[in-house]
Structure formats: structure tokens, C-alpha cells
Chains A and B, each alone.
Chain A
């Protein structure tokens, strides 16, 4: 595997960072907006003996200016979301989220995804990939965001390499929203139904 420079935006899920850092031959930049959370990330990385990871604390939307456009090989974007997919952790999300909250989240996710795409070098021999993931089940935070990126940037959806899970929606709200046919390559995971752990694979 060629040497790679990876970036994980919203690295508060430190188990993801430590796992990816073990898989990659290269440098991993783990970015987390909130500085308080970076302490937990660093603590976990030290505990795991990870030495190829840089922890940073920037707003993900300004990273293309900080690191430079086309500067990394791959990006893992675990976008901040409404958390409607983790009801088992916090059941209050069923009643606490308003349409305005969802709209704001969706807007932020679109900005972050475009920033992630701008960071990736398309001519990278080993990369050029962006993985977008959320812990939400709402199409407003998933398919609609990806469809927006397809319209705004030159990207294509590729298979995730995971053979289970349900396909992404190709239409939503009785056909009001119609997405790219390639959206079927995206995956929706329902851990309680697929008998897996309730974390992002």
C-alpha cells in the first residue's frame, strides 16, 4: 500500500481514529472541533500506542484553507448529525429535534462534505476517496447531502465494499426527492436488524 495522508473530520469517535490509524500506512490527521474532546482522543491514541496520528482542532469547513486543497489522499467524514440513529443511547432525540434543527444540521453537513471533497487529491494513486457517514436515519442528513455534493463537485459514488446493509434511498417523500441511481451503492445499516454493534463500521 502506498504512503497515504488521511484525514478524519470530527474525530471525537476516537475508536474509529485508532482503528484507522492501525490500517493505514502513512499519516492520519484526526480533526475535532471541540478542544475538550481532543484530550480524550489523544488519551485513547496514547493508550493504543498509536504514533502515526496528528490531532488537530479546526472547524472542518476551513480545513481546505489550513491544509490546502488536494492535499490528502482520503477523508473520513463522520458528520455531526441529529442522532436519530442512536435512539438506544438517547431516547430523547425522538422528541427533542425540530425541523429547524434538521435543516441547520443538513446545511452544516453539506458544507463539511464539500470541504472534504476539496481536500482530497483526485489524482492520488491510492486514494481520492471520501467516506461520508452519519448516525442518522433521515434522508435530509444522508442522501440529500450526498446528492448535493454530486451536483456541486465532480465526485461519483462507489461501492462501500460491505456486502450487507440496505441500499440508500433512490427516492424519498413519495417521489418529491429523486436521487442518483448510484445512491443504491450507499448503505444504510440498522444494527438492531442486522445483528451488529451499534457503531459506524
Chain B
């Protein structure tokens, strides 16, 4: 900044901002934590399909027949209590039934997994174009 002493000194500042729409605003609020961001990136990279972690889980429990099987995703009004598609708010994964028909003990999973489920709920929204900016 030695040039500041020179009488020919001149300088300007230009910044271009873009206002974020309501949809993006909602997603931005949802993505305030890193876990939500990672979960969304994970879901988006795979076209809102299952992640490897979820695929592994579902394959071990013998409930998934494909990476994008519609049955794997909870649909509005189609949540089955204790089924694969059930979304639990209590930091627990959906319970499955053992071969004897007895419900398995619910297992603790990471928050990332739960965030992925939250993100996937946007699949039921008609317009998901606002997700594009977060790829």
C-alpha cells in the first residue's frame, strides 16, 4: 500500500451478490451443520438414491432389491410401522423383523444416516430444482 502516498492512487471495490430464493433458504437452514451438508452431497451424488452405507445396511438385513427401489423410500401415507420405510425421529433406524417374526432390536445409527433420510423426503416434493445449487 505504499502507492497510497501517490496522488495518482485510485481503487475501487465491486461485489456481486445473488439473493437466495425461499427453497434454497429452507435448504440452507437445513444444512447449517456439516452433517446435513455431507448427507445432502451424498444423496445428490447418487441421484437421491441409496448411499453405500444404506445399501450395506439394507443388504445385510435382506430388504433391498435395488439401489433405487421405490419400496425402500418412505412415501406419504405409506409408512409402515416398524417397516423399512419408517422414519424415526428418535435417532434409531427402522426396525426389521427376524426370521421368527420377532422384531429386531433397534440399533443406534449416526446422524448422517438420519440426515440422509430427511433429505430423501424431498423426493416427494414436485419441484426439487432448488437442490441444484447445492451439488
Determine whether the beta carbon of A146 is less than 8 Å from that of B15. yes
A180-201 Cβ-contact flags toward B at 8 Å (1 or 0):
0001011111111100001111
Which chain A positions have C-beta within 8 A of B16? 129-132, 157-161, 185-186
Interface size band for B: 20 to 34
A85-B12 in contact given A129-B18, A156-B18 (Cβ < 8 Å): yes
A192-B8 in contact given A134-B13, A159-B16 (Cβ < 8 Å): yes
Determine whether the beta carbon of A131 is less than 8 Å from that of B15. yes
Determine whether the beta carbon of B13 is less than 8 Å from that of A130. no
Interface size band for A: 35 or more
Contact with B13, one of A86, A137, A193 (Cβ below 8 angstroms): A137
A192-B3 in contact given A85-B12, A142-B13 (Cβ < 8 Å): yes
Mark the stretch among B22-30, B56-64, B72-80, B114-122 that contacts chain A.
B22-30
Contact with A186, one of B4, B6, B14, B24 (Cβ below 8 angstroms): B14
Determine whether the beta carbon of B17 is less than 8 Å from that of A156. yes
- Find residues 1-60 in chain B having any chain A CB closer than 8 Å to their own CB: 3-4, 6-22, 24-25, 28
Which chain A positions have C-beta within 8 A of B7? 87-88, 91
The CA-CA distance from A165 to B16 in the complex, in Å, is: 14
Chain B residue nearest in CB terms to A116: B17
Chain A residue nearest in CB terms to B13: A142
Determine whether the beta carbon of A146 is less than 8 Å from that of B17. yes
From residue A2, how far is it (CB to closest CB) to chain B in Å?
16
Question: Is A98 at the interface (CB under 8 A from chain B)?
Answer: no
Question: Is A117 at the interface (CB under 8 A from chain B)?
Answer: yes
Determine whether the beta carbon of B11 is less than 8 Å from that of A189. yes
From residue B33, how far is it (CB to closest CB) to chain A in Å?
17
Question: Is A29 at the interface (CB under 8 A from chain B)?
Answer: no
Question: Is A96 at the interface (CB under 8 A from chain B)?
Answer: no
A136-B6 in contact given A117-B19, A129-B18, A154-B24 (Cβ < 8 Å): no
The CA-CA distance from A135 to B13 in the complex, in Å, is: 6
A135-B12 in contact given A91-B7, A154-B28 (Cβ < 8 Å): yes
Which chain B positions have C-beta within 8 A of A158? 16-18
Which chain B positions have C-beta within 8 A of A168? 13, 15
Determine whether the beta carbon of B18 is less than 8 Å from that of A186. no
The CA-CA distance from A160 to B12 in the complex, in Å, is: 14
Contact with B21, one of A84, A87, A123, A162 (Cβ below 8 angstroms): A123
Determine whether the beta carbon of A191 is less than 8 Å from that of B17. no
Chain A residue nearest in CB terms to B22: A122
Which chain B positions have C-beta within 8 A of A135? 10-12
Which chain B positions have C-beta within 8 A of A141? 13
Which chain B positions have C-beta within 8 A of A162? 14
Chain A residue nearest in CB terms to B133: A156
Which chain B positions have C-beta within 8 A of A27? none
A102-142 Cβ-contact flags toward B at 8 Å (1 or 0):
00000000000000010011110000111111111100011
From residue A81, how far is it (CB to closest CB) to chain B in Å?
9
Question: Is A153 at the interface (CB under 8 A from chain B)?
Answer: yes
Chain A residue nearest in CB terms to B21: A122
